[in-house]
Amino acid sequence: MGNDFNQNWNEPNQMNRQRDLVLAANEFAFVMAKTNGTIKTYTGPITMTISAQESLVVFNPKTKKFEETQDFEKAKQLFVSAPEGWYVTLKNPAKDSSHPEPAKAVNSAELDIGRKINIAGPCSFSLFPGQMTRVIRGHRLRSNQYLLARVYDADAANNNSSTVIDAEGKEITKSQQYFVGQLLVIKGTEVSFYIPPTGIEVIAENENGTETYVREAVTLERLEYAILKDEDGEKRYIHGPSVVFPKPTETFVQTPKGGVIFRALELSPISGIYVKVIAEYDETQNGKKVHHPIGEELFITGKDQMIYYPRPEHAIIEYDGKYMHHAIAIPEGEGRYILNRLTGKITTIKGPTMYLPDPRIEVVVKRKLSASECDLMYPNNSEVLAYNEALTEKATEKAAKKGIASLSALDNLLNTTYATNNQEDTLAIFEANANIARGVSYTKPRTITLDTKYDGVVSIDVWTGYAINVVSKSGKREVVVGPATRLLDYDETVEAINEASNKTAFLKIKNNCIYDLVSAQTADFATVQIALNYYINFLPEYKDKWFSINNYAQYLSNSMRSIIKDEVKKYNIQDFYAKEIDIIKNVILNKNTELAEGASNRRIFTENGIEIYDAEILGVTIDKNIAKMLTDHQNEIIQKSIELSDAQAQLKTLDALAEVQNKQEKIESDKTLFAMELNQKRVEEELKEKELIAAQERAAKLAETQATKEMQELLNDIQAAELARAKKAEDAKLERERERAIIEKTKQEAYAATVEKIMNSISPNLIAAIQSQSNAELLTEGMKSMSPYALASGETVPEVVNKLLRGTTLEEVINKSNVNINF
């Protein structure tokens, strides 16, 4: 123990910090007696010494226990303070509503355990042991904010009035009768500032780990709405513009993204929604009352109402997870088959139009073409054939089961009436997004791509110069002349004709060409083979007869062969060979027949309206021996004609050569004269240039001499000015040094006089008085410091001081002083 005592004695300041606790004016601490567990509250300003039978404690509000601590700073607690506009929630208040008095140590008052009260600021007080508080800012509300409160003590709430400031800034007192468990909604439109009375607590909500009391109401703009769902399952739809405050038992229906604002559905004349009435209701339409029973189905389009807000009596019917029904864009020359599912009738709707089918009674259907129909209407088109082969019931069901919206051959296989723009499968498709964003870049206009290649009505494009014959199952027929696009009704098809051993639906009526090879005999029994092309048109006035002959090419060839053979029989081989083309073309085009004035030579077949307007003779083949004789005779004639032509050509060549030689000699002479003129002009120009250069050199030398002279004068002036500036700077420097020396001398003389005056003012008596006062203060402080030692050893303070300071420099001070310390 001796070692411990000496160690503590050598560190008195440390022991003092451990046992003495000083509390400021706004601090308090709990001290518990270890003998009986009594806890006192020490409220500042106060100084207290903690004995060995006492310990500092703090109250842990989580465990509801008092915990000992050796840390004085931890034991110190600040007053609970609430400024103006704040309030304190106090748990376990004193039954007499008192608080510990300042600058005193008091025992704990009797607490009302389990009770909670609200104290409005300004206030500041310390706590009794076991009390808990929370300081909360008064709730300031904007018009789009609200509070959710709960009544936990109805008697207290009814007997107290809360601090409420209305929207106009006036303080009001609420006189509402409350009951326990009641939930209250304090709206910002009615109250701008609120402090709850005792018995009512404002319910906090946790946002990102932070408790907040003020809740944001939902502000709805135009075309926006919110859905509130009550605990009983009833829904309430509120349309904007409005500020929506939920009832205590209501919650907002949220979108998958966490939002609570929905966008009203904007309809147009080409879009609509399909709804079913699930609760009967009445509404007024065009001034008349209309009753809607349960189960009724409605198709609402923009013609009925441009803006649609969902209502609790409506259930929107989905098709493949989509709500919106958009019109089908039918361009010019296209169409769609519409099936009335009540009557079974199929109607063809032709473009251009935006057709919106009524899903209650109308269904868009497609027509499947057989392989032969594909080959007839779209010859050599493998893509059309593959698409129609895929249009089977099994392929459709398979695609729908897998959720396939489009494949190469199954594109738009499902009902296109219900196509939407990838909307969500909940009411979140109407979520609001009314922001207005503008930029400085060019905004392209809205564009869409229509890919209706295989959608809708079967259409046939009839090109220029072609025609088709459309027939229906009812016996009607129609010849369609191109350029045109013919939309086939569901019971219509096209008639096929034979052309070059192939079947086709397209009849070429303009500039058609038919090849034929005709074998005939001349009057002298020489056999000739005639290859030719017939150029034909189908006359419009015979339009109804165009398709009356299935193989028109064969019919034409057979008819013309007989006519040509009869004509060839009229000539011998030599006469025929001399003018074979004229003979054949005249008979084909009927040129031997006299025509009326203005008429052209042509041959017409009234059976199907074919007109031969021209013919091309590709070649005439005869017997080899006869052909050789005819050829030799023609060769002899041709050879003589060529010799005559050569002689005439040589003469013309000699004349041309002479004329060319004369022109060459004239050009050479003109060229020599022009060269001599150019040489003379060049010599004259060189002489003028040399004279000009010599004059410029003389002028440059004169200017250089004059500049050198002026530069020397300028350098002399600059040197003189620099010498003058240097002398002036040196004189100024000497003058500053003389002034500095005078100032330094004056300062030293003043300092010496001051020191001398101070030394003369100090007297021996003053020195003795200062020393005496210092010894007395030293002795007093020493005796205060030794008082704990005296207490521990059982001696008086004077005895301890006399024993410890005898023999030191303070012995004389003890003898002369008369200090008495009462402990």
Mean pLDDT of 483-497: 85
Q: Is the residue at 377 inside a domain?
A: no
For residues 583 and 680, state if they share a domain: no
For residue 202, name the pLDDT band (cuts at 50, 70, 90): very high
What's the gap between Cα 148 and its chain centre?
36
pLDDT recorded at residue 414: 33
Residue 778 dihedral angles phi and psi, to the nearest 5°: -65, -40
pLDDT at 432 over 60: no
Beta carbons of 584 and 505 less than 8 angstroms apart: no
Q: Give the domain CATH number at 600.
A: 3.30.479.30
For residues 537 and 651, state if they share a domain: no
Mean pLDDT of 218-235: 88
For residues 721 and 613, state if they share a domain: no
Q: How far is 263 from 584, CA to CA, in rounded Å?
A: 82
Q: Is the residue at 256 inside a domain?
A: no
- Tens-digit pLDDT profile for residues 144-164: 899 999 999 888 888 876 667
Number of domains forming the structure of the chain:
5
For residues 31 and 105, state if they share a domain: yes
pLDDT at 188 over 60: yes
420 or 634, which is more confident? 634
pLDDT at 639 over 50: yes
pLDDT at 11 over 50: no
Q: Is the residue at 176 inside a domain?
A: yes
Mean pLDDT of 735-751: 80
Mean pLDDT of 96-108: 89
For residues 517 and 577, state if they share a domain: yes
Beta carbons of 271 and 301 less than 8 angstroms apart: yes
Q: Which of 126-140, 341-355, 430-444, 739-753 has the highest mean pLDDT?
A: 126-140
Q: Is the residue at 335 inside a domain?
A: no
Lowest-pLDDT choice from 7-21, 22-36, 110-124, 780-794: 7-21
pLDDT recorded at residue 813: 64
Q: How far is 264 from 280, CA to CA, in rounded Å?
A: 22
Lowest-pLDDT choice from 11-20, 160-169, 761-770: 11-20
Q: Is the residue at 755 inside a domain?
A: no
Q: How far is 81 from 125, CA to CA, in rounded Å?
A: 7
SS3 785: helix
Is pTM beyond 0.75 here? no
What is the Cα gyration radius of the chain?
61
For residue 70, name the pLDDT band (cuts at 50, 70, 90): confident
18 or 528, which is more confident? 528
131 or 489, which is more confident? 131
Share of the chain above pLDDT 90, in %: 11
Mean pLDDT of 388-401: 60
pLDDT recorded at residue 403: 42
Q: Is the residue at 528 inside a domain?
A: yes
Q: How far is 713 from 534, CA to CA, in rounded Å?
A: 112
Q: What is the largest CA-CA distance in the chain?
A: 186
pLDDT at 438 over 60: no
Q: Tally Cβ neighbours within 10 Å of residue 780.
A: 13
For residues 559 and 600, state if they share a domain: yes
For residue 133, name the pLDDT band (cuts at 50, 70, 90): very high
Q: Residue type at 193? A: F
For residues 13 and 115, state if they share a domain: yes
pLDDT at 716 over 50: yes
pLDDT recorded at residue 119: 92
For residues 53 and 108, state if they share a domain: yes
In terms of residue numbers, what domain contains 71? 2-136
62 or 749, which is more confident? 62
For residues 592 and 516, state if they share a domain: yes
The domain boundary, picked from 110, 136, 162, lies at 136
For residue 683, name the pLDDT band (cuts at 50, 70, 90): confident
pLDDT recorded at residue 405: 39
Mean pLDDT of 63-89: 91
Q: SS3 letters for 685-740? A: HHHHHHHHHHHHHHHHHHHHHHHHHHHHHHHHHHHHHHHHHHHHHHHHHHHHHHHH
Q: How far is 597 from 446, CA to CA, in rounded Å?
A: 62
For residues 696 and 800, state if they share a domain: no
Mean pLDDT of 444-451: 49
For residues 539 and 577, state if they share a domain: yes
For residues 727 and 778, state if they share a domain: no
Mean pLDDT of 196-223: 87
Q: Is the residue at 270 inside a domain?
A: no
280 or 691, which is more confident? 280
- Tens-digit pLDDT profile for residues 318-340: 877 778 888 888 888 788 888 88
pLDDT at 776 over 80: no
pLDDT at 181 over 80: yes
For residue 441, name the pLDDT band (cuts at 50, 70, 90): very low
For residue 452, name the pLDDT band (cuts at 50, 70, 90): low
Beta carbons of 484 and 498 less than 8 angstroms apart: no
Q: Which helix (H) or strand (E) holds 600?
A: none
pLDDT at 586 over 90: no
For residue 431, name the pLDDT band (cuts at 50, 70, 90): very low
- Tens-digit pLDDT profile for residues 602-637: 888 988 889 998 888 888 887 777 767 767 766 777
For residue 127, name the pLDDT band (cuts at 50, 70, 90): very high
The domain boundary, picked from 136, 161, 193, lies at 136
User: Mean pLDDT for the chain?
Assistant: 79
pLDDT at 62 over 50: yes
For residue 427, name the pLDDT band (cuts at 50, 70, 90): very low
- Tens-digit pLDDT profile for residues 83-97: 999 999 999 999 988
The domain boundary, picked from 158, 182, 216, lies at 216
pLDDT at 588 over 50: yes
SS3 566: helix
Which tokens go with 261? 């604002």
Mean pLDDT of 743-767: 69
Q: Is the residue at 688 inside a domain?
A: yes
Pick the closest to residue 129 from 204, 220, 31, 247 (CA basis): 31
pLDDT at 702 over 90: no
**Residues in CB range of 51: below 8 A, 6 or more apart:** 19
